[in-house]
């Protein structure tokens, strides 16, 4: 398993958007040769530009040798090998620019741990086969034993990003429970989540076990913990333009192959530390 980096401000976006994260401030382009040209006549190979970032530890980042790598990057390379009709090329940029670049045809799909939610579905096409699956729970300060489930947060402040899957869940929860929670939305600034919770400006958030490791205290250990049962299953997918169904179907086919032969689970364990390819039904068996 790769060494985990310490929390950066971009990683706050990881918890809030849960599928996205910070990336490099400059745009670069790097072609990833996969040998597809030797198998298929060059005129029949379609070039696909894949948008990603460089500052999401273990997902898409620049290693000590100056190489773009990480779970999403290595998975795309693996899918490229299995799809000889395409040639994938990476283009890195700020996370905030990824979806705009997709809309303006600068890239053809986004590989950056993105999740589908109602807001995004209105504008974009997602492939159907998730390549990561994350289960969100209530997260509180590691010393807080008074909260054991979301029902213990009645009248308390719960922090989230305005357009995240967690926000959508919390809004629905409030509709069904007479506005039991006080939802506090991120301003989009580089908020220190650990400080917000430890100073009691907010009481809790929703988070995956995967994200916990990024939120550390002064001792370098995780400052938060998750409690209760999983509340949300968030599927990580590629984001494409609405007119890209053929490419989406091809990606789904290749992802299914990586699941069937164990490659996807192996990559997840190698880069993310655990096998994050199983859904809620599989975990609860």
Using H for helix, E for strand and C for coil, what is the string for the chain?
A: CCCCCCCCCHHHHHHHHCCCCCCCCCCEEEECCCCHHHCCCHHHCEEEEEEECCEECCCEEECCCCCEECHHHHHHHHHHHHCCCEEEEEEECCHHHHHHHHHCCCCCEEEEEEECCHHHHCCCEECCCCCEEEEEEEEEECCCCCCCCHHHHCCCEEEECCCCHHHHHHHHHHHHCCCCCEEEECCCCCCCHHHHHHCCCCCEEEEEHHHHCCCECCCCCECEEEEEEEEEEEEEEEEECCCCHHHHHHHHHHHHHHHHCCHHHHHHHHHHCCCCCCCHHHHCC
> Comparing C-alpha atoms, which of 97, 122, 77, 111 is closest to residue 238?
111
Domain at 10-130+236-274, CATH from 3.40.190.10, 3.30.420.140, 3.90.1300.10, 3.50.50.60: 3.40.190.10
Give domain limits for the chain: 10-130+236-274, 134-232
List, for residues 48-97, the tens digit of each pLDDT value. Answer: 999 999 989 999 999 999 999 999 999 999 999 999 999 999 999 999 89
Q: What is the model's pLDDT at position 162?
A: 82
Tokens encoding 33: 């040769």
Per-residue pLDDT, 283: 62
Quick: pLDDT tens for 189-206. 545 889 999 999 999 999
**Helices 71-82 + 245-260 axis angle, to 10:** 100
Residues in the chain: 285
Percent of the chain whose pLDDT exceeds 90: 66
Beta strand 157-160 with 182-185: parallel, antiparallel or unpaired? Answer: parallel
Assess contact for 272 and 113: CB atoms under 8 A.
no
10-130+236-274 and 134-232: identical CATH topology: yes
Q: What is the pLDDT of residues 99-153, one digit of tens each?
A: 999 999 999 999 999 988 788 899 999 999 999 999 999 999 999 999 999 999 9
- The answer as to CATH 3.90.1150.10 being correct for domain 134-232 is no
């Amino acid at each position: 398993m790769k060494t985990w980096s310490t929390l950066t401000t971009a990683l706050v976006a990881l918890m809030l958007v849960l599928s996205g994260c910070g990336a490099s401030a400059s745009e670069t382009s790097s072609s990833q040769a996969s040998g597809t040209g030797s198998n298929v006549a060059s005129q029949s190979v379609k070039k696909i530009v894949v948008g990603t970032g460089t500052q999401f530890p273990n997902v898409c980042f620049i290693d000590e040798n100056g190489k773009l790598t990480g779970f999403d990057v290595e998975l795309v390379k693996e899918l490229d090998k299995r799809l000889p009709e395409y040639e994938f090329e990476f283009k890195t940029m700020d996370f905030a620019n990824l979806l705009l670049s997709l809309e303006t045809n600068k890239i053809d799909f986004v590989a950056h741990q993105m999740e589908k939610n109602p807001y995004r579905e209105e504008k974009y096409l997602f492939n159907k086969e998730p390549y990561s699956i994350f289960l969100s729970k209530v997260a509180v300060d590691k010393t807080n034993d008074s909260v054991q489930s979301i029902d213990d947060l009645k009248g308390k402040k719960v922090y989230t990003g305005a357009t995240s899957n967690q926000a959508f869940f919390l809004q629905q929860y409030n509709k069904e429970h007479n506005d039991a929670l006080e939802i506090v939305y991120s301003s989009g600034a580089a908020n220190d989540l650990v400080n917000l919770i430890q100073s009691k400006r907010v009481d809790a958030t929703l988070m995956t076990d995967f994200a916990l490791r990024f939120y550390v205290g002064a001792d370098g250990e995780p400052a938060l913990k998750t409690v209760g049962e999983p509340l949300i299953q968030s599927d990580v997918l590629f984001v494409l333009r609405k007119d890209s169904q053929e490419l989406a179907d091809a990606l789904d086919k290749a992802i299914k192959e990586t699941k069937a032969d164990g490659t996807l689970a192996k990559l997840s364990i190698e880069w993310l530390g655990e096998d994050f390819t199983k859904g809620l039904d599989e975990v609860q068996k």
